[in-house]
A = this chain, B = another copy of it.
Amino acid sequence: MSPPYKLTYFDIMGLGEPIRIMLTYGQLEFEDCRVPKENWPNLKPNMPFGQLPVLEHHGRVSHQSMAICRYLAKEVKLIGKDSLEDLDIDAAVDTVNDFRQKIGKYHYESDETAKEAYIKTLFGEIVPFYLEKLDNMAKENAGYLVGSKLTWADLVFVGLIDYMNFMAKKDLLASAPNLQKVKEHVVNEPNIKKYMETRPNKH
């Protein structure tokens, strides 16, 4: 019998890694389907909105990485204690993704002049601003992003940080001691620890 979950994504961490980490944390057995670049043009027209990742489960095909993570968070019990705490978690997740997109704007900019112009704003203002705010959140929550306990916001953050570091070409957490604690909390979860020791470390 095939496993109950099948994740389809490219052969990189990217937006697939938070999903892989959620599934791993909850010991939900999954097929980790990594599409070679040369096969993507053939596959793309069959994807819900022409994008990856998608998750096949319960006889359906789901898309949108954060929507998938939120669903899995319910399955593996990493959501908040009530709807107010879920709101805080959702806001943290959206903020981490805003931050990721602002770094992505730099990484994916093909015009060198525009890239040069943006680099000052990004590393002079945006990155320090987000890191300070997020690090404060982690400080107030004892090394977690929300509620002083492990939630799916932490797994999403740690699932995305390698991708963000790669795009920023630096270790974003170097001067963010409380975000380092968030990372430690996540990577020391036994199932995740085991997974990370052998996962494909590709960007």
Contact = CB atoms under 8 A, between A and B. Distances in A.
Interface of A: 48-50, 58, 60, 62-64, 66-68, 70-71, 74-75, 83-84, 86-88, 90-91, 93-95, 98, 111, 114, 129-130, 133
Contact of A87 (B67, B90, B129): B67
The A contact surface, by secondary structure, is helix
Nearest to A89: B67
Contacts of A58: 84
Given A49-B133, A94-B64, A95-B49, A87 B70 contact: yes
Contacts of A68: 87, 91
Given A64-B94, A94-B66, A111-B114, A71 B86 contact: yes
Given A49-B133, A111-B114, A83 B74 contact: yes
8 contacts: A48-B91, A49-B133, A50-B129, A62-B87, A63-B91, A64-B95, A70-B87, A111-B114
Contacts of A90: 64, 66-67, 70-71
A66 B89 CA distance: 12
Contacts of A111: 114
A74 B86 CA distance: 11
Contacts of A60: 84
A2 to B, nearest CB: 19
